Amino acid sequence: MDPELVLVFPGQGSQKVGMGRAAATSSKTAAGVFAEADEALGFDLSRLCFEGPEERLKETANTQPAILAASVAVLAAALDADTIQRRPALVAGHSLGEYSALVAAGALEFGAAMRLVRERGRLMDEAGQASPGTLAAVVGLDEATVEEICGESGAEVANYNAATQTVVGGAPEAVERACTLAKERGGRGLPVKVSGAFHTSLMAPAAEAFARLLADAEIAEPVIPVVGNVSGGTLNSAADVRADLEQQIRRPVRWHQSVDAMETAGARRALEVGPGKVLTAQLKRSHPGLEARSIEEISETANV
């Protein structure tokens, strides 16, 4: 085990046409990941990842399993190439990325995880249509100030991404009001293009329906501790994992707190595994004590 290394997995928003294709081309194991994903879902997800069209890839019910498949494929390719040579001390994922982390930790079987996230995306999309909402990233203000703004506007905190970047969500008028208040206090509110107010109470119907699916899901004890989104602490048992996933859809993602916990546990290097470099860029700003790298930044001969 490498006590200083953590693996982090990206969530929704990191999707792009072509994701995972290089991994599948270079690694038979990664190609097998996509084949298993296609079989689990009963349609050609791999083609959608590799070729698009982009508009269909952006649909929440497709985006979520696509990112999971691409992330696990990149992990498989990295292991095949000995890019990752030792077991990390911890794994974590941002929102949807928590499912990639749970697969990496052995808590969820990949095919079962694919089916779960497909339903997760479908249910979240339905909840967004039934109760229209949106998200905005508030930057330049601390968490306490953003929480005060939410109390005044009717918006809710959706993601604690960094000390001075907090995503808020809710009904469009509430989020618009929150952005106005943020500007008055010296910050900025930046709209996020999503199909619903994810990780807020508007997702309660999706969370309740998803909890019924989770009740029948097989969840194993993680072989690597997973840092959960809901608590920002480690999930060491199957019961911990189930409880976190039951709440995750409608509760804020405590990402900033999760990274704090990883640093406190001794993490000094974070490797982002999956499409894009969103978490890497964010970690370099929010936690400069961590050496944050994306798998895409590592050459074929480098290892961690």
Options 94, 199, 256, 287, the catalytic residue: 199
Give the CA dihedral 145, 248, 226, 273, nearest 10 degrees.
-80
Are 168 and 156 spatial neighbours (Cβ–Cβ below 8 Å)? yes
Q: Would you call 47 exposed, middle or buried from its count of C-beta atoms within 10 A (0-12, 13-18, 19+)?
A: exposed
Q: Give me the helix-helix angle, 97-104 and 60-80, nearest 10°.
A: 40
Asked if 256 is an active-site residue, the reply is: no
Options 14, 71, 95, 195, the catalytic residue: 95
Handedness of CA 201, 9, 37, 58 (dihedral sign): positive
Per-residue tokens: 234: 């480690």
Asked if 299 is an active-site residue, the reply is: no
Which of 69, 80, 22 lies closest to 46, judged by CA? 69
Peptide bond into 132 cis (omega under 30): no
Strand runs labelled E in 82-207? 88-93, 134-139, 156-162, 165-170, 188-192
Tell me which residues are annotated as active site: 95, 199
